[in-house]
Amino acid sequence: MGYRYIGSKSKIIDTVLKKIGDIVPEGAHVTDLMTGTATVAIKLRRHGYKVTANDLMTYSYHHAISGLKFSVPPTFQMADEFISNNYRAIENIPNPTRYEMMINALNNSEPIEGYFWREFSLSGAPIKSDKPRNYFSSENAAKIDGIRANIEKLVRYDALKPNEKSLLLHDLIMGTNDVANIAGTYGHHMAELVGRAKHSLELYPSELLTGEDAEHHTVLQGYAEEVSSQISCDICYIDPPYMKRQYAANYHILETLARGDEPEAIGVSGLRPWRDQYSNFCTKTKIRDSFRSIITRMKTDNFLISYSEDGLLDIEDFVELLAPFGDVYIDEFVHKRFKSNSSKLKSQLTEYLIHLNRE
Ligand SMILES: C[S@@+](CC[C@H](N)C(=O)[O-])C[C@H]1O[C@@H](n2cnc3c(N)ncnc32)[C@H](O)[C@@H]1O
């Protein structure tokens, strides 16, 4: 399954990169202000840009650190004892890297009937709900608890560098996505376990980008409206939520993995308390003020905004909002949307790239 993230730009990333390349020179400093899965930020790094990535969510922070901040492969130097106690040699990997050994050791974590098992599997008895929740098979939920406990222990004993911790949490999130019993987001689980949820959870090492450029990239976590005042760059790419669906509510389980905590899980969906990550971009009456805060605070001449005809604001609203700040140029392109046969949605969707230049 990989990552099914609402609004992910993986399908139109080349168009976004081309547009950025038309506006700023090679090696320019680009901010990806709402980085989500960090797909765009990582591609920008590959293309030689200096990147600042930010998002509200903790899981995005770990994705961005994993993609931007490694100059050399991780050695997990301080985790020797854990690796030697838990690594089991595999025939087809005769000379494993330290990273492969660490992932192998984590995959051998002893299952625990802990928080994930109790709150998110059918064998559990959630504290704040009468009915068990079917997000994971009982075996996978207990395996997640075991891996979380080991990562937590490694952190407690200072056996992981901060970037190594981010990378392992990123890998745990990616592995968890592969076996989650959900239709798209973590807003709901399926009633019966679907095929992929019956597979055993397995972590895999990520394909890491490395290089000396790592030190030039910056990863932040915070409200775009606030962090903007800390950023000075050549262009700021903004890919905001288009609709009312709050990311914090739809990806609550990934946020819990990323934070490594055990929050109260509430109601049928087992939502964590998420209002501290509420986004104004999901509320039509608040979007304009949020955009104005970003534009007035950030030091940059160019903004490039992704938006869609499905969005809460019309394209005319956008022009009216941005025009007082500079010249506005709009690129429109149509792309095929995924929809089920019964869906009444149009099969084509118009996406916009809105360029604000205020030189
Ligand atoms: C459309 S998604 C971005 C997808 C991303 N470009 C990708 O390809 O994965 C929107 C992102 O905006 C973030 N977000 C929403 N409101 C925010 C805010 N006020 N400040 C920072 N990030 C915010 C969400 O957490 C979400 O990750």
The pair of three-digit structure tokens given for residue 305, joined into one six-digit string: 């905004």
CA of 94 to the centre of ligand 1 (A): 41
For ligand 1, whether the C-beta of 223 sits within 6 Å is: yes
- The reported pLDDT for the residue numbered 348 is 84
Q: Write the pLDDT tens digit of every residue in 245-291.
A: 999 999 999 999 999 999 999 999 999 999 999 999 999 999 999 99
Percentage above 70 pLDDT, the chain: 97
Torsion of CA 86, 91, 93, 97, to 10 degrees: 30
For ligand 1, whether the C-beta of 37 sits within 6 Å is: yes
- What backbone phi and psi angles, to 5 degrees, belong to 272? -80, 155
- The reported pLDDT for the residue numbered 250 is 97
Q: Which of 190, 178, 174, 58 is nearest to 120 (CA)?
A: 190
Neighbours of 92 (CB within 10 A): 4
Helix (H), strand (E) at residue 10: none
For ligand 1, whether the C-beta of 56 sits within 6 Å is: yes
**Residue 349's pLDDT band (cuts 50, 70, 90):** confident
Which residues fall within 8 angstroms of residue 354, CB to CB, at 6 or more apart? 303, 304, 305, 306, 307, 315, 318, 322, 328, 329, 330, 331
Nearest ligand 1 atom, CA 57:
25
For ligand 1, whether the C-beta of 307 sits within 6 Å is: no
CA distance 265 to 327: 47
- The reported pLDDT for the residue numbered 338 is 56
CA distance 120 to 132: 7
CA of 278 to the centre of ligand 1 (A): 11
> Tokens 């030189």 sit at which residue?
359
Ligand 1 pocket check: which of 12, 247, 295, 310 to mutate, most ligand atoms within 8 Å of Cβ? 247
CA of 34 to the centre of ligand 1 (A): 4
Q: Which of 71, 19, 70 is nearest to 40 (CA)?
A: 19
CA distance 99 to 104: 9
- The reported pLDDT for the residue numbered 90 is 83
Sign of the C-alpha dihedral, residues 24, 17, 59, 291?
positive
Whether the CB-CB separation of 165 and 75 falls below 8 Å is answered with no
Nearest-CA residue for ligand 1 atom 13 is: 34
pLDDT tops 90 at residue 103: yes
- The reported pLDDT for the residue numbered 337 is 67
- The reported pLDDT for the residue numbered 335 is 79
CA of 255 to the centre of ligand 1 (A): 13
For ligand 1, whether the C-beta of 278 sits within 6 Å is: no
For ligand 1, whether the C-beta of 57 sits within 6 Å is: yes
Which domains are seen in the chain, by residue range? 1-50+220-241+279-359 (3.40.50.150)
For ligand 1, whether the C-beta of 248 sits within 6 Å is: no
Beta strands (DSSP E) in the chain are 29-32, 50-55, 218-221, 235-238, 302-308, 327-336, 348-357
CA distance 306 to 33: 11
CA distance 266 to 141: 18
The pair of three-digit structure tokens given for residue 344, joined into one six-digit string: 């009444």
CA distance 190 to 196: 12
CA distance 333 to 354: 11
Whether the CB-CB separation of 300 and 231 falls below 8 Å is answered with yes
CA of 125 to the centre of ligand 1 (A): 33
For ligand 1, whether the C-beta of 197 sits within 6 Å is: no
**Residue 312's pLDDT band (cuts 50, 70, 90):** very high
Whether the CB-CB separation of 38 and 245 falls below 8 Å is answered with no
